[in-house]
Amino acid sequence: MNQEKPERQRIPRRRPEERVEDFQEVARGYTSEQARREAERCLQCPKPQCVEGCPVRVDIPGFIKKITSDEPQAAAEVIKITNVLPAICGRVCPQEDQCEARCILAASDEPINIGALERYAGDRARKQEKPSGNLTNPPVAVVGAGPAGLTCAADLLRLGHPVTIFEAFHEPGGVLVYGIPEFRLPKEIVREEIRHLEDMGAKIETNVLVGRTVTIDQLLNEQKFASVFVAAGAGTPWFLGLPGENLPGVYAANEFLTRVNLMRAHRSDYATPLKLGDRVAVIGGGNVALDSARSALRVGASEVLLLYRRDREQMPARKMEVEHAEEEGVEFHFLTNPIRFHPDDQDHLGQIECLQMKLGQPDDSGRPRPLPVEDSNHFYDVDNVIVAVGSRPNRIIGETTEDLETNSDNTIAADESSGATSRPEVFAGGDVVTGSATVIAAMGAGRRAARSIHNYLT
Amino acid sequence: MYPIKSSRRLAPDIYRLEVQADHVATSVKPGQFVVLRLDEKGERFPLTVVDADPESGFIFLVVQAAGYSTKKLVNLSPGESILDLLGPLGEPTKIAKFGRVACLGGGVGTALVYPIAKACAAAGNEVVSFIGARTAKLVLLEDELDSVSNELVITTDDGSRGIQGYGADVLARRLQAGESFDRVFAIGPVPMMKSVSDVTRPADIETIVSLNPIMVDGTGMCGGCRVTVDGQVKFACMDGPEFDGHDVDFEELAARQQYFKDHEECYLQNL
């Protein structure tokens, strides 16, 4: 019998014209029937390459097998051995560059939709980890309640350490709450994961900026933590350094996204102001640029341009998100490099002046270097610009911690496999070490550091 | 939650609040600020800490009820609480034995210059303080400043108290008359800080101003508080809030401060 190969189960998405009207999630999850069908496509390779592609080595065939037998709870438990946040990673991990890129089916057919299956398991599983047993090992302070800090805290609790997480914002979650918009990652999912961590015994202290409210040395010497894990992220935005960049109307992506995601500035019942005109340009080609562009559409901009100095193929953003943004009407201008911002008659931003670029020889990043085309100056009339060209750690922790070695971009010098720093009792991981990277990479660093901290203390 | 212990009206629309915030009270230094969020739907906004008592865990804030959130704040009664309070933030004032110091406060900025005058006095400086107000009943912290100053000058715009005019003009006249200062601190509205900086520039007296731009987080994340200082972009929350007034681009600062004004007015109507 000539049986047709089962096809990759598509993820249902909401219609673009409907979804730009609100902040509800764009991609819907699988039904149990879809999840089972997709799971059954998995060949259960004896030497699974997908696992090699995962920064935290989730037992992917193992959890997929549990879905074929309709046991999402058991599937989630398999994932949680190595990844405490499946509902989050299923949504925001770049699976197409990691596990799915290595899937054996990717060569001949379409890879297994590992991300959607992970999300399915995470969403369906009841959060029911019991409070950790006796926390009799030495106490650890975690600086920052983002992906690296939360993961490290969960692992340390399981290893019997009392953990206190210090967070500068009024709400824990880090980039998961201030950066990634609701339509990609509903905040309720993040809140639920955090409640779960608190149930396990984690203490979270918000409104504490380590380095100002309390220093790392005070945490160790006065508050008697035996070790500190620094996971403060890369929160300080880069700007372009162009003339006119400080004109009112030019936002860093961090500011725009924080106003919308964390402060709900677009809602009239929240006090935080947001001013966004009809025509908005976003500068950058990464996920943060796309998040900004798509958020701008949702808070009322009628035209959103995305200016990127290289071409589509070089965009660091996830392909799926680029597709979503195009469907929603974001207008892409590739090989376009801003050189100056011009004021309008009220001395607010009025125009961006750009140069046309062409691609040259590869640069240090391995991507073709964009080169300006002579006399190609052109102008866009805009009300606002959102600059999304990356971020780095701020300098506060490095400056206020004795003998903690940092690099010129404020990242903390730490061993990537252990998180060890120049101070034996201080460990670091996530974006504060690597500069801005992915949620899953930060989680991997948190996990490795928890193990090293435990080894150091016991 | 950060309970309000007491609230006292110092002048029309200007209040002195005492807030329980142990973690700030034990670590705050002159010149530093906190970021508040009053309630679940509130905005985050910065306020300079005027004084603190590490023993009791209280911090003292002087608030001018000018915007939506500051009006809500001064309406809170003792016993009520502020939901979130982060700090201390920013770099502390650099205090040393400079010699002869002028401390100028304009409007509510007078309250903010007070901890600096006090610290300068404690460091053995001769302190001449200037209180600038629109009118007599808006003169703030007269007794407090007097107690830490060798001389206190009061100016009002309408001449109802002290010398009529601006503190910057009085300072200019005294410099012209041959008086000398080794350091000047000026805190107040942008035009006031700009005038003082213009007055001290020819005499080359280092003049420290404290900036209050728009900010969201106060931790170096949003970049909303960026200011141009000596041609470099600085974040007031992290690199400031104090800068050398001779190097600050005040026009840019003033323009950026106005950006959300129409939004603010719209919210004020609904208060």
pLDDT band at B84 (very low <50, low <70, confident <90, very high): very high
Q: Selecting from 3.50.50.60, 3.30.1120.10, 3.30.559.10, 1.10.3720.10, what CATH number does the domain A239-389 have?
A: 3.50.50.60
Residue A239 region, left (φ>0) first, then alpha (ψ -120 to 50), else beta?
beta
Residue B32: closest CA among A401, A214, A212: A212
Task: Write the DSSP symbol of residue A131.
Answer: P
In tens, the pLDDT along A121-144 reads 999 986 666 666 789 999 999 999
In tens, the pLDDT along A191-201 reads 988 998 998 89
Over residues A417-442, mean pLDDT: 94
Judge whether residue A281 has pLDDT over 90.
yes
Per-residue pLDDT at B266: 74
Per-residue pLDDT at B262: 80
Better-predicted residue by pLDDT, A438 or A61:
A61
Interchain proximity A273–B256, CB inside 8 Å: no
Q: Which of A207, A263, A348 sits opposite B216 (nearest CB)?
A: A263
Q: Which residues of B touch A145 (CB under 8 A)?
A: none
Cα dihedral angle (A135, A136, A138, A144), rounded to 10 degrees? Answer: 0
Q: Are B132 and B120 in contact (CB under 8 A)?
A: no
Judge whether residue B265 has pLDDT over 80.
no
Q: Does B42 touch chain A (CB under 8 A)?
A: yes
* Range name among A144-153, A246-255, A356-365 with the lowest pLDDT average: A356-365
Q: Which two tokens stand for residue A248?
A: 């009112």
Touching A: B residues 209-268, CB under 8 Å:
216-217, 219-224, 226-228, 233, 235, 238, 252, 255-256, 258-260, 262-264, 267
Over residues A222-234, mean pLDDT: 97
Q: Which residues of A touch B221 (CB under 8 A)?
A: 178, 235-237, 254-255, 258, 394
What type of residue is A37?
Answer: R
Whole-number average pLDDT of chain A = 93
Over residues A338-352, mean pLDDT: 95
Interchain proximity B85–A249, CB inside 8 Å: no
Per-residue pLDDT at A127: 63
Per-residue pLDDT at B66: 87
Per-residue pLDDT at A12: 86
Interchain proximity B43–A270, CB inside 8 Å: yes
- pTM for this entry: 0.93
Closest alpha carbon within chain A to B254: A248
Judge whether residue B271 has pLDDT over 80.
no
Q: Selecting from 3.90.226.10, 3.50.50.60, 3.30.450.20, 3.90.700.10, what CATH number does the domain A140-235+392-457 have?
A: 3.50.50.60
Per-residue pLDDT at A132: 66
What type of residue is A238?
Answer: W
What DSSP element (H or E) covers B109?
A: helix B109-122
Are both A16-124 and A239-389 of the same fold?
no
In tens, the pLDDT along B170-224 reads 999 999 999 999 999 999 999 999 999 999 999 999 999 999 999 999 999 999 9
Q: Which residues of A touch B254 (CB under 8 A)?
A: none
Q: What is the ipTM of this complex?
A: 0.93
Per-residue pLDDT at A383: 97
Judge whether residue A282 has pLDDT over 60.
yes
pLDDT band at A385 (very low <50, low <70, confident <90, very high): very high
Domain boundaries along the sequence of chain A: 16-124, 140-235+392-457, 239-389
Residue A64: closest CA among A45, A40, A48: A40
Nearest-Cα distance to chain B for A110, in Å, is 40
Better-predicted residue by pLDDT, B40 or A11:
B40
Judge whether residue B264 has pLDDT over 80.
no
Q: Does B69 touch chain A (CB under 8 A)?
A: yes
Judge whether residue B26 has pLDDT over 90.
yes
Span A16-124 CATH architecture: Orthogonal Bundle (1.10)
Judge whether residue B242 has pLDDT over 50.
yes
What type of residue is B14?
Answer: I
Interchain proximity B252–A246, CB inside 8 Å: yes
Collect all residues from A whose CB is shorter than 8 A from any CB in B: 168-170, 178, 206-209, 212-214, 235-237, 239, 241, 245-249, 251-252, 254-255, 258-259, 263-264, 269-275, 347-348, 394-396
Judge whether residue B248 has pLDDT over 70.
yes
Q: Which residues of A touch B223 (CB under 8 A)?
A: 236-237, 239, 251-252, 254-255
Q: Which two tokens stand for residue A378?
A: 């052109």
Interchain proximity A212–B68, CB inside 8 Å: no
∠B58-B64-B65 over CA atoms, to 5°? 110
User: What's the number of CA atoms in the CB half-sphere (13 Å) around residue A403?
Assistant: 8
pLDDT band at A1 (very low <50, low <70, confident <90, very high): very low
Q: Which residues of A touch B68 (CB under 8 A)?
A: 271
Residue A341: closest CA among A241, A239, A244: A244
pLDDT band at B270 (very low <50, low <70, confident <90, very high): low
Neighbouring CB atoms inside 10 A of B267's CB total 18
